[in-house]
């Protein structure tokens, strides 16, 4: 724990921290002794989490209500982190659009791009420079198994997660020589309020958010990406290495339709 804080502390910023995986990351980092800046839209949820983390771990927690799709995100991040040495960024926030691409409003797809693509680029750039100058730090970008191939009915979301995966791989290669560890975590379906809110029609195996967060943090410095969960790793290898891409896309289409139609 002390080694982790020395390398990635003393402060961490978690984007999308109000529930689910973001909350799990916040708990895991507080347990490691890092002070936290928590970003999300819902102030009340952030405040409740902050109170619990301060009481349980004695860390400082700053609450930063913020829409991660906003155009001035870099300026807002600078305001929230002014005077702090932020050694770790976790970008967990995500927006998804479920349904036929052309039947959903363009504004929904553009929000996917803003939250899932422009957001991590903005915060990685805003915080990564200081990490590189200090010669230490870490960046965790949450991707998805959906990043492996096109996913009908989730076309914008899957494409945005592929962007995050490739972004993390590029930053991993660029920044490791400057002491900054970068990793993309490709998680499958996870037991979160967000997944429940998507109203799946069938039960599917769900990962535990605390386990996903722990494994992602443990993967820092070990490689550019990881897939959490044995079943997910088999699926990622099968879709990415064994099956023709056309077949992988068709399988994902059938699976998504069974889940949501």
Three-state secondary structure string covering the chain = CHHHHHHHCCEEEEECCCCHHHHHHHHHHHHCCCEEEEEECCHHHHHHHHHHHHHHHCCCEEEEECCCCCCCHHHHHHHHCCCCCEEEEEECCCCCCCCCHHHCCHHHHHHHHHHHHHHHHHHHHHHHHHHHHHCCEEEEEEEEHHHHCCCCCCHHHHHHHHHHHHHHHHHHHHHHHHCEEEEEEEECCECCHHHHHCCCCCCCCCECHHHHHHHHHHCCCCCCEEECCHHHHHHHHHHHHHCCHHHHHHHHHHHHHHHHC
Decide if 8 is catalytic. Answer: no
State how far the Cα of 90 lies from the Cα of 13, in Å rounded to an integer. Answer: 6
* 24 has pLDDT over 90: yes
pLDDT digits (tens, 9 = 90+) for 38-91: 999 999 999 999 999 999 999 999 999 999 999 999 999 999 999 999 999 999
Tell me, what's the pLDDT at 81?
95
**Using 50, 70 and 90 to split pLDDT, how confident is the model at 8?**
very high
Phi/psi for 89 (5° steps) reads -115, 130
Q: What CATH number has the domain spanning 2-260?
A: 3.40.50.720
User: Which position among 2, 8, 91, 161 bears the catalytic label?
Assistant: 161
Token pair recorded at residue 5: 């804080």
- Domain extents for the chain? 2-260
Tell me, what's the pLDDT at 199?
57
Q: Among 58-62, 66-70, 167-171, 203-207, which stretch is predicted with the lowest mean pLDDT?
A: 203-207
**Using 50, 70 and 90 to split pLDDT, how confident is the model at 108?**
very high
Tell me, what's the pLDDT at 157?
95
* 202 has pLDDT over 80: no
* 96 has pLDDT over 80: yes
Decide if 2 is catalytic. Answer: no
Q: How many CB atoms lie within 10 A of CB 257?
A: 12
CB-based burial of residue 194 (10 Å sphere; 0-12 exposed, 13-18 middle, 19+ buried)? middle
Tell me, what's the pLDDT at 185?
96
Is-contact 112 95, C-beta < 8 A? yes
Token pair recorded at residue 170: 């590029």
* 195 has pLDDT over 60: no
Mean predicted confidence (pLDDT) in 91-114: 95
State how far the Cα of 223 lies from the Cα of 226, in Å rounded to an integer. Answer: 8
User: Which position among 2, 8, 91, 157 bears the catalytic label?
Assistant: 157
Q: Distance between terminal CA atoms of the chain?
A: 45
Phi/psi for 6 (5° steps) reads -65, -35
List the one residue out of 38, 136, 53 whose CA is nearest residue 93: 38
Is-contact 172 219, C-beta < 8 A? no
Token pair recorded at residue 33: 């002794």
Vertex 190 angle, CA 186 and 195, to 5°: 115
């Amino acid at each position: 724990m002390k080694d982790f804080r020395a390398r990635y502390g003393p402060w961490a910023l978690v984007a999308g921290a109000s529930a689910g995986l973001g909350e799990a990351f916040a708990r895991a980092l507080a347990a490691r002794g890092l002070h936290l800046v928590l970003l999300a839209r819902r102030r009340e949820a952030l405040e409740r989490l902050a109170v619990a983390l301060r009481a349980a771990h004695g860390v400082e927690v700053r609450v930063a209500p913020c829409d991660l799709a906003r155009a001035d995100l870099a300026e807002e991040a600078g305001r929230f982190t002014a005077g702090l040495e932020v050694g770790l960024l976790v970008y967990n926030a995500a927006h998804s659009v479920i349904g036929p691409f052309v039947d959903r409003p363009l504004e929904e797809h553009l929000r996917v791009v803003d939250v899932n693509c422009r957001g991590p680029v903005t915060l990685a750039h805003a915080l990564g420079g200081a990490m590189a100058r200090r010669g230490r730090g870490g960046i965790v970008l949450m991707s998805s198994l959906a990043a492996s191939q096109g996913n009908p009915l989730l076309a914008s979301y899957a494409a945005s997660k592929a962007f995050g995966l490739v972004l993390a791989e590029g930053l991993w290669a660029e920044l490791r020589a400057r002491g900054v560890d970068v990793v993309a975590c490709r998680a499958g379906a996870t037991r979160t309020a967000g997944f429940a809110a998507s109203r799946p029609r069938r039960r599917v195996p769900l990962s535990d958010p605390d386990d996903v967060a722990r494994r992602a943090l443990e993967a820092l410095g070990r490689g550019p990406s990881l897939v959490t969960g044995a079943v997910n790793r088999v699926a990622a290898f099968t879709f990415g290495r064994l099956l023709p891409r056309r077949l992988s896309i068709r399988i994902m289409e059938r699976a998504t339709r069974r889940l949501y139609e």
